[in-house]
Amino acid sequence: MTGTALFVAVFLACLVEAVEALTIVLAAGTSREWRSALLGVGAGLLVLAATVAALGPAVSALPLSGLRLFVGGLLLVFGLQWLRKAILRASGNKALHDEELIFQTQLDAARTVAVDRRPLVGDWYAFTLSFKGVVLEGLEVVFIALTFGSNQHDIPRAAAAAGAAVVLVVLLGLVIRKPLSRVPENSMKFVVGIMLTAFGAFWGAEGAGARWPGGDGALLVLVPAIALFALALVVAFRRRGAWTSGSASVTTAGVSA
Amino acid sequence: MIIRRLKAFAAFWYDFIVGDDWRVAAGVVAALTLTYLLAHRVSTAVWWVVLVALVVLLPVSIWRAVRSSR
């Protein structure tokens, strides 16, 4: 079960982050210059690869109980962040994530900035916009893939899940050539938040010395229980008409998760 | 200049890991510390501590966010 859950959690998390990065890169390439935007993507991927190369062995070298306590705790904090935002969005208390609106805002912002040429880079703005988009969105994926992969002693599976999601998004981006607004990002983030929270709670408590009833089987109860609790919170905090997708929060440096 | 960059670097990681509500992160640390202490000092099951923390922290954090947005 945990192997499949590992793949699903990393794949979904990577998919939503890749969709967000794609929107930013598309905006940089379309409104400015494709070569500089793609150079920014390449530089961003290099930074992410270096992060994985540096942190991967360090995380894997930790003893299992220490690893589970440290990584489980981080995952739980991270998962609660995702779940908190997902519940706020689903209950109407925070703007829904809207790729079309984000794309348009990025386009408008990019068109107002003058061209700044640097060595090897024809348009510095397009380069930095793509670079930041890839690094900021990619760091979350790196974190999730490393924590899940190291805890399960299966970093290759986590890497495969992340790679599959990136390839899928890049292929769809090449075919559609516009933001992937039909991807149900808000629902997917809700699911990822539940998975991160459940696994974080499970590993964190286990790393601290707790023994779950039923061992790994406890996750079969934990995941649906947290899902039901999150849905109950959506109902409890539901607010009508406070936000629409047209009020999504956007900045030129990136988009809030 | 260097201090400003270090502050920006620290602020980025704080925002990345802790996020919008530091109380959630503090609550998780407290819950795991309590679990650790109980697990090594008493012989009863302590897996529920983290779940109790979760059931308290999440709604309280959402309630605070909802209240501040109104």
Q: What is the mean pLDDT of residues A217-239?
A: 92
The string of pLDDT tens digits covering residues A82-123 is: 899 999 999 988 887 777 777 788 777 777 777 777 777 778
Instruction: Tell me the per-residue pLDDT of A15-62, one tens digit each, with 9 for 90 and over.
Output: 888 888 888 888 888 888 889 989 999 999 999 888 888 887 777 777
State yes or no: pLDDT of A245 exceeds 70. no
Both tokens assigned to A113: 């900035």
Q: Which amino acid is at A28?
A: A
Please state, for a pLDDT cut of 70, what percent of chain A lies above it.
91
- As a whole number of angstroms, the distance between CA A79 and CA A199 comes to 9
**CA of A234 to nearest chain B CA: how many angstroms apart?**
10
pLDDT at residue A240, as a whole number: 53
Two tokens, residue A51: 């992060």
ipTM: 0.91
Are B54 and A80 an interchain contact pair (Cβ–Cβ within 8 Å)?
yes
Task: Please name the residue of chain A whose CA is at the shortest distance from the CA of residue B69.
Answer: A93
> Can you tell me the distance from the alpha carbon of A241 to that of A95, in angstroms, rounded to the nearest whole number?
11
Where are chain B's structural domains?
A: 20-69
Q: CA nearest A87: which of A226, A218, A221, A200?
A: A226
Q: What pLDDT is attached to residue A1?
A: 52
The strand pairing partners of A121, in sequence order, are A118
* Inter-chain residue contact B62 with A87, CB threshold 8 Å: yes
The helix/strand/coil state of A257 is coil
Cα angle A81, A86, A87 (rounded to 5 degrees) comes to: 100
Is the CB of A208 less than 8 angstroms away from the CB of B32?
yes
Distance CA B58, CA A227 (A): 13
pLDDT in tens, B37-66: 999 888 789 999 999 999 999 999 999 999
* Count of CB pairs separated by less than 8 Å, A with B: 108
Joined tokens for residue B54: 């979760």
More confident residue, A202 or A246: A202
